[in-house]
């Protein structure tokens, strides 16, 4: 079947010669908008565990970070590891560059314990990228494919303030410049359906991303999970999630207007079913994937069709 956009799975197969899977790691990090450095409470859509709510992390009872190694070992001891021969260590929860360089190196090293691991992926905030972090990440590139995931979400700074991100578009631009300098691949997160945003905001964010040199994109639906400020807004009638049709229209716009060279890592966010409040369609991944494929095919659309830098 003709590929309508550049799927991550296909890209990894080409790069490593075979199927390559992620090992999601909770490194017991926090964020500067949680611990009081820039703010408290974290982003309004973020649960107590961060974006990796599904990770069954082990309690960190030691100071030598063996709890990180244990997560990797447990993965390799599970049925999941039988589905591939090559793997990516993915530090997912919260801000995974928010610590001293010594602590970062130690935590990364405690995960990179198996010869089957071929890549290191780090999810973080743009304002937690600096020269020293880039040098550390660069030091792994001789042995591993390294990429950094930056949570942009939107280029609208007014929305970012509402989200309590305490991080803005200028921080994203600065982080991209630094990572580009060290030739480290960047995956950008964009969220569709954020509070007070409309289709024009999606257009502006896509235009903003296209002005930067990035290599990957994650398109996230905005979903409401328990014990978040966004949940309070939803119950108080202040926030209404998008319908599936509205989401698919926005995702198609993003794909058709983003650079055709960018690898698409995701086309929807995945909320744990036990935490999801709304929208209900978010728990049906096949509805989203099949709906998107159907729309792209029927309307003769493909990634980058309307891309114009």
* Mean pLDDT to the nearest integer, 54-66: 57
* pLDDT tens, residue by residue, 124-163: 999 999 999 999 999 999 999 999 999 999 999 999 999 9
CA 283/CA 203 separation, integer angstroms: 26
* Whether residue 57 has pLDDT greater than 60: no
Nearest to 124 by CA among 33, 57, 15: 33
- Which residues are bridge partners to 122 per DSSP? 91, 148
271 confidence band (pLDDT: 50, 70, 90): confident
pLDDT in tens, 215-250: 999 999 999 999 999 999 999 999 999 999 999 999
Rg, C-alpha atoms of the chain: 19
pLDDT digits (tens, 9 = 90+) for 16-44: 999 999 999 999 999 999 988 888 889 99
* 88 DSSP β-pair partners: 22, 119
Global pTM value: 0.94
Average pLDDT over residues 57-64: 53
Residue pLDDT, tens place only, 200-224: 999 999 999 999 999 999 999 999 9
Domains in the chain (CATH in brackets) are 8-298 (3.20.20.70)
């Amino acid at each position: 079947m003709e590929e309508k956009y550049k799927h991550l799975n296909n890209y990894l197969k080409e790069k490593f010669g075979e199927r390559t899977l992620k090992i999601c790691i909770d490194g017991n990090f926090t964020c500067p908008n949680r611990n009081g450095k820039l703010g408290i409470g974290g982003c309004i859509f973020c649960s107590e565990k961060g974006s990796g709510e599904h990770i069954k992390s082990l309690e960190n009872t030691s100071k030598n970070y063996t709890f990180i190694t244990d997560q990797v070992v447990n993965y390799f001891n599970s049925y999941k590891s039988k589905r591939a021969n090559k793997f990516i260590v993915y530090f997912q929860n919260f801000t995974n560059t928010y610590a001293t360089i010594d602590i970062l190196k130690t935590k990364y090293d405690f995960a990179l314990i198996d010869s089957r691991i071929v890549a290191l992926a780090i999810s973080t905030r743009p304002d937690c990228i600096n020269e020293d972090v880039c040098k550390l990440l660069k030091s792994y590139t001789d042995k591993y494919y390294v990429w950094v995931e930056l949570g942009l979400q939107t280029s609208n700074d007014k929305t970012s303030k509402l989200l309590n991100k305490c991080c803005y578009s200028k921080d994203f631009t600065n982080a991209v410049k630094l990572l580009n300098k060290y030739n480290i691949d960047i995956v950008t997160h964009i969220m569709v359906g954020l509070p007070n945003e409309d289709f024009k905001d999606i257009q502006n964010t896509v235009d903003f991303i296209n002005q930067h040199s990035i290599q990957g994109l994650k398109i996230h639906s905005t979903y409401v999970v328990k014990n978040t400020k966004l949940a309070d807004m939803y119950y108080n009638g202040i926030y209404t999630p998008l319908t599936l049709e509205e989401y698919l229209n926005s995702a198609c716009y993003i794909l058709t207007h983003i650079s055709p060279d960018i690898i698409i890592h995701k086309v929807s966010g995945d909320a744990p079913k036990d935490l999801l409040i709304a929208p209900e369609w978010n728990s049906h991944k096949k509805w989203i994937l099949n709906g998107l494929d159907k729309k792209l095919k029927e309307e003769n659309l493909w990634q980058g069709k309307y891309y114009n830098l």
